[in-house]
Amino acid sequence: MKAQGSAPDNESDECHRLVTEWDGDDWLAATQSGLWLGRPGGTWRGSGPYEHALNSLTSFADGIVAGADGGLWLIARGEPRWRQLHDEVLTLVEAASMTSDELQSLVVATGYGVHLPAVAAHDVLRWSNCSEALSAPSARFSTALHLLDSETWLVGTETGLFVCTEHGRRWSATSIAQVAVRALLSTDEGVWAGTDDGDIWFAADGLAWQHHACLAPTESAPTESVLSLATNHHGVLLAGTTGGIVVSDGNGWRSTGPTLPMAAVAVDGRTPSTWVAGAAPGGLWWTEDGDAWQQAAEAPKTIRHLLSPDQVQ
């Protein structure tokens, strides 16, 4: 049993002093118990009393915009209080991105569609759904998001990958259709997408998509869905799948690590041999050689997104 807000110097206020502070070497994890911080080989710790189940983390100024099943939050580094960014419409937030360094430039992918904010009285954000043009609920259910530029957005949905332009007014399908797209990754070469069919797709310009690989080792092997993608920027592509991590280093694909639904995988560009993966469920794992993986026992059991230190401003 935890108490909150009862006496001046009880555990609750101690929690409030457990400020969401992180430094330049910390990795950040979106977990079912809020924001967690730590580093491979070190101790992982919760960020404080806000234990909302988080799905995504987006770096913003000196903080993080965190997408949650229950809404959207701004976590400012060093501030004891999270700030609510959602309203009575925004919920089931799966991913968020920004077209500038202003909060009103947020683009948010949710279970009900892509939502855009407007600033209202009392400096709050009010949200509107720009996916209404997609008639099927599944097509609106948006799980991945990448902004090619401020006007051209890639939206991974339960029924494929869409291109959304004109600030949400125009939608067009891509060649990745009738399958859920949960993973998008931008690299120097182009944009990568992963599907529930276990396929990896690539588009140099983000628009002309070509099938790149199928992760199933054999035709008879069970299909594992692609849940997350990452690169070490040295030619290695990592895919978190429902069956664990799969790695491509230019010589084909190989499996590594525990067989868990890896919803998150990340690489620190400054130390490209260190990889961290988060399973949902299955906890937090890391490796320094790509073969031997160590679990962080103290971390929550469900990890949904990771930011490496170089992704945190």
Partner 1 sequence: MTTYTEDVDSRALQIAEAINERDATSIWGIHASMMCGQDGDAASALLAEKFGSIGDGAFARNAAGTFDVLAAMSVVCRWGDQLSRESLDHVRTVFTDGVLSRGNTENHWLMHYVGSLLAYERWPDAPVWWNGLTPAATHMEADRWLRGIIDRTARCGHHEYDSPQYHSWHLLPMAVLADHAKDADLRQQAAQAATLFTADMALEYSQGGWAGGHSREGYRENTWTVSGNLGVLQYLYFGGEPFDADRHSHPLGGIALTARWRPPEMVARIALDQSSLPHVVRKTKAPREIPRHADRAPRAVRKYTYLSKSFALGSTQLGIDPPAGPIDLVSWDLGWGGPKHSAKIVANHPYRSPLRFSAFLGGLPQSIRRGIAAPKPYLQWPDRLFGASPYERILQHEGAILVLYRIPEDDEAPYVNLYLPATAAWKDTGNGWLCADMNGTHFVGVRPIGTYRWDLIKEDDFIDGWLLRIDDRCAGVAVEAIEAADVEGGFDAFVSSRTGALDVANWPAQGRATMRTMSGARLEMDWPASGEAVRKIDDQPIDDEYDLYEAPSIAQAKLGDGRIIFEYDGERLELDFGIDAASPLMPMRCVG
Of the residues 65, 156, 158, 276, which one makes contact with partner 1 according to CB under 8 A: 158
Q: Which of 40, 46, 49, 309 binds partner 1 (CB under 8 A)?
A: 49
Residue 51 engages partner 1 in binding (rule: CB under 8 A): yes
Residue 272: exposure state from Cβ atoms within 10 A (0-12, 13-18, ≥19)? middle
Smallest separation (angstroms) from partner 1 to the CB of 64: 14
Q: 123 vs 84, 96, 108, 117, 207, CA distance in Å?
A: 11, 20, 18, 12, 36
Nearer CB in complex with partner 1: 38/67: 67
Span interacting with partner 1, options 58-66, 83-91, 186-194, 245-253, rule CB under 8 A: 83-91
Q: Name the β-bridge partners of 114.
A: 109
Using the rule CB under 8 A, is 122 a contact of partner 1?
A: yes
Contacts of residue 253, defined as CB under 8 A and 6 or more positions apart, other chains included, come to 213, 215, 217, 239, 246, 247
Among 41, 43, 62, 89, binds partner 1 (CB under 8 A): 89
- Told to check if 119 binds partner 1 by CB under 8 A, we report no
By CB under 8 A, tell whether 24 contacts partner 1: no
Q: Of 96, 164, 191, 263, which one interacts with partner 1 (CB under 8 A)?
A: 263
Q: How far is the CB of 150 from partner 1 (least distance, A)?
A: 26
Q: How far is the CB of 249 from partner 1 (least distance, A)?
A: 26
Rule CB under 8 A: say whether 259 interacts with partner 1. Answer: no
Shortest Å distance, C-beta 196 to partner 1: 8
- Amino acid letter for position 151: E
Number of other residues whose CB lies within 10 A of the CB of residue 240: 31
**Using rule CB under 8 A, residue 87 touches partner 1:** yes
275: enclosing H helix or E strand: strand 275-279
> Cβ of residue 7: shortest distance to partner 1, in angstroms?
8
Q: Is 258 in the site for partner 1 (CB under 8 A)?
A: no
Alpha carbons 182 and 193: distance in angstroms, whole number? 8
Task: State which H helix or E strand residue 108 sits in.
Answer: strand 106-110
Residues 213 to 252: which contact partner 1 by CB under 8 A? Answer: 225, 227, 242
The gap from C-alpha 163 to its chain's centroid, in whole angstroms, comes to: 19
Three-state SS at 171: strand
Tell me the C-alpha distance between 50 and 2, whole Å: 12
> Which residues, 6+ apart, have CB-to-CB distance to 252 below 8 Å?
none
Q: Does 179 bind partner 1 (CB under 8 A)?
A: no
Choices 68-76, 97-105, 161-169, 289-297 (CB under 8 A): range interacting with partner 1: 68-76
Identify each DSSP E strand in 111-190 by its residue range: 113-120, 124-129, 142-149, 152-157, 160-165, 170-177, 181-186
Which residues sit at the interface with partner 1, rule CB under 8 A?
1-6, 12-13, 16, 49-52, 55, 69-71, 74, 81-84, 87-92, 94, 111-112, 121-124, 129, 135-138, 140-141, 158, 180, 182, 196, 225, 227, 242, 261, 263, 280-281, 302
